[in-house]
Amino acid sequence: MQAADRQRFAAVSMMIDDRLAELIRRRPRTLVLTGAGLSAESGIPTFRDAQTGLWSRYSPAELASPEAFEADPERVLDWYDWRRELIARSRPNAGHTAVKRLLDALPGARLVTQNVDGLHQLAGARDAIELHGNIWRLRCAAPGCRHERYWSDRTAPAPRSCPDCGKILRPGVVWFGESLPAQALASAWQLAEVAEFVIVAGTSGLVHPAAALPFHALEQGARVVEINPDRTALSQAAHWHLACSSGTALPALADLLDAP
């Protein structure tokens, strides 16, 4: 491990007090909730980061919405092709790998993510609940047409017309103003209901209903740790706030499970 990584690791280990270490070693029923910050260290800008290059003059909210798609579908589809290209060049980082280790080691642990990039799955996380869909899924925008497909070709832009009805294909993600997939939300809510321990990593907690999940778990008596270099509305209510990157904090938490 490089000296800088050792330093960062030592710093976050200082933040992990005995109570948190003991809780994890007890292997509680755990829910992991992640946001765009998890993929920041894979080179994927978060939603609240300023956009770069060609898209710097737009905010995601101006592109990830039914109104934007209605007004200029080609521009929205170009933006999603740009994001898929960026994601295709990215690899899961130490945070994604640590989430998989935690899911494997903690009995009944589940992952609920707001991320649509599929990097958790690439890191081996199974049964991830994708509250906001997945950028690699396409579905027909025509009302009544149920065509949906998974676009796995990382080397070419996604097709834009439905093979069944010829209408335009849109990304299988949840846009601003749209409802979340009912089953995914119900499962996430249920997991928050029964969790003893919640790890919230890389989310600003600005977008509901995902942002309400940790608070729901707190009301049921769960212990909550937040991992985020910045403070959020959850920071005050969480039992621990590890003010560092998920790529550093999550491996430190996972290592507690290896320690004798």
Hey, which residues are catalytic here? 132
Binding site for ligand APR (CB under 6 A): 35-37, 40-41, 46-48, 60, 114, 132, 201-204, 206-207, 227-230, 232, 245-247
In this structure, which amino acid lies at residue 260? P
Please provide the DSSP assignment of 83-125 as one string: HHHHHHT----HHHHHHHHHHHHSTT-EEEE---S-HHHHTT-
For the bound state, the minimum distance from the C-beta of residue 182 to ligand APR, rounded and expressed in Å, comes to 17
d(CA 195, CA 258): 22
Neighbours of 193 (CB within 10 A): 14
Nearest distance from residue 112's CB to ligand APR, in Å? 11
Nearer to ligand APR, 30 or 245 (CB): 245
Q: Residue 22 or residue 49: which is nearer to ligand APR going by CB?
A: 49
Nearer to ligand APR, 27 or 235 (CB): 235
Give the tokens for residue 196.
């003893």
- Least CB distance to ligand APR at residue 144 (A): 26
- Cα 127 → chain centroid: 13
> Which residues are CB-contacts of 39 (< 8 A; sequence separation ≥ 6)?
46, 90, 93, 96, 115, 117, 119, 202
Burial 216-248 (b: 16+ CB within 10 A, else e): bbbeeebbbbbbbeeebebeeebbbbbebbbbb
**Nearest approach, Cβ of residue 165 and ligand APR (Å):** 27
Look up residue 41 and give its DSSP letter: T
- Closest residue to ligand APR, judged by C-beta, is 37
Give the bridge partners for 242, in sequence order: 227
Q: Which is nearer to ligand APR, 142 or 243 (CB)?
A: 243
For ligand APR, give the closer residue by CB, 62 or 255.
62
Nearest approach in angstroms of CB 164 to ligand APR is: 27
